[in-house]
């Protein structure tokens, strides 16, 4: 979304989004079906952190749901940092945090199990593309770990029937009970040294010393 109207048009976008007058538009954006914007999620939660009286918990929940769809970006973690201590006791906030932890720790089957609990499910379903985004994240996590992965592992991770799971990405090739993933830098064999750039300052010091 464009930066909401601010009280002063001269304000940079970051400041305009922190103006109290911008809050209704930001909240509407968070509650919309639009894709998550990291800047908007952060601005809403920051406004809430500054003015606890105006907090709407349904907006907080939706912000966390949307932030989860941005994994592996750090947006979810960042959003949690902005939620005040007392609000962490909210049951839905705690459950959403558990879900994010399961995703980040590779426990995908447990994630889908917890996400299926009715109360949480209604919160997650409020953002229509949630499951799709999470499956894309899971697929990426598998692709950076595996070159070939058992179909049953993929099915459980994506919470899909085996055939649908194996065909989740057009770039995947099924080979019996295994799916072959396309080559990626993260799964390519690596030589014996890490990328290790030498700073200009170091080389400059050497050149300077040797040229005197």
Partner 1 sequence: MAFASGPSSLGFDAGASEVPRAFVRYIEDLVKALKSGHTARALNLYENGRREINAEHFSKKLWPTLEQVNAAVAASSGARLDRGFEAVYQTLWLKHVFMTDMITLPEKDTLSNLVRAWTSYSAFIEECVGPSPMAGYTLPPDWVYDVVNEFVYLFQRFHEERAARFHRRAEAAKSGSEAPAGFEADDALDAAAEGVWDPRAVLALLRRAVLTSGINEQLAAARTKGVRAALAEWRAPEVTQLAGTFALVCLVRVEAKLGDHAAAVEAARFLSPQSSGAFLRVTRAQLSLYSYLGFSLAMLGRFHDAARAISSVLLLVHRASPVLEDGARSSRFMKKTAEKMLALLALCDALSPGAPVDELVRAKATDRFGAKLTGIAAGGTEAEAAIADLFTAATPSFVDASWPPVAPAAEGASAGEQVFAVQSRIFLSAAQARAAELAGIRSLLRLYKTIDVPKLARLAGVTEDRARAGLVALKLHSWQAVASSADAADAASRPALTRAIRDSVHFVVGGEDGSMVASSEARVSEDATRELIRRTVALKRQIGAASPAGRA
Among residue numbers 125 through 144, which ones bind partner 1 (CB under 8 A)? 141-142, 144
Q: Does 119 bind partner 1 (CB under 8 A)?
A: no
Contact (Cβ atoms closer than 8 angstroms) between residue 3 and residue 43:
no
- Residue 41: CB atoms within 10 Å: 26
CA distances, 77 to each of 21, 100, 120, 171, 207 (Å) = 26, 9, 19, 31, 44
Give the residue, chosen from 21, 32, 51, 173, that forms a contact with partner 1 under the rule CB under 8 A: 51
Backbone torsions φ then ψ of 173, nearest 5 degrees: -120, 125
Which of positions 178-197 make contact with partner 1 (CB under 8 A)? 178-179, 185-197
49, 114, 160, 162: residue in contact with partner 1 (rule CB under 8 A): 49
- Residues 14-43 close enough to bind partner 1 by CB under 8 A: 14-15, 18-19, 38, 42
Which C-beta is closer to partner 1: that of 75 or that of 123?
A: 75
Cβ 178 to partner 1, closest distance in Å?
A: 5
């Amino acid at each position: 979304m464009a930066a909401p109207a601010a009280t002063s048009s001269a304000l940079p976008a970051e400041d305009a989004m922190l103006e109290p007058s911008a809050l209704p538009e930001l909240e509407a954006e968070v509650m919309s079906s639009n894709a998550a914007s990291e800047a908007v999620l952060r601005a809403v939660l920051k406004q809430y952190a500054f003015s606890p009286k105006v907090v709407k918990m349904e907006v907080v929940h939706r912000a966390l749901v949307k932030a989860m769809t941005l994994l592996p970006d750090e947006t979810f973690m960042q959003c949690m940092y902005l939620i005040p201590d007392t609000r962490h006791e909210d049951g839905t906030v705690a459950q959403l945090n558990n879900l994010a932890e399961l995703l980040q720790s590779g426990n995908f089957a447990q994630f889908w199990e917890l996400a299926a609990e009715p109360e949480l499910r209604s919160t997650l379903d409020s953002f229509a593309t949630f499951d799709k985004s999470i499956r894309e994240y899971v697929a990426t996590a598998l692709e950076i770990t595996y070159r070939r992965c058992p179909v049953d592992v993929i099915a459980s991770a994506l919470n899909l029937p085996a055939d649908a799971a194996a065909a989740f990405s057009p770039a995947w090739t099924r080979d019996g009970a295994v799916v072959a993933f396309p080559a990626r830098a993260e799964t390519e064999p690596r030589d014996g040294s890490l990328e290790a750039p030498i700073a200009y300052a170091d080389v400059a010091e050497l050149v300077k010393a040797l040229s005197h």
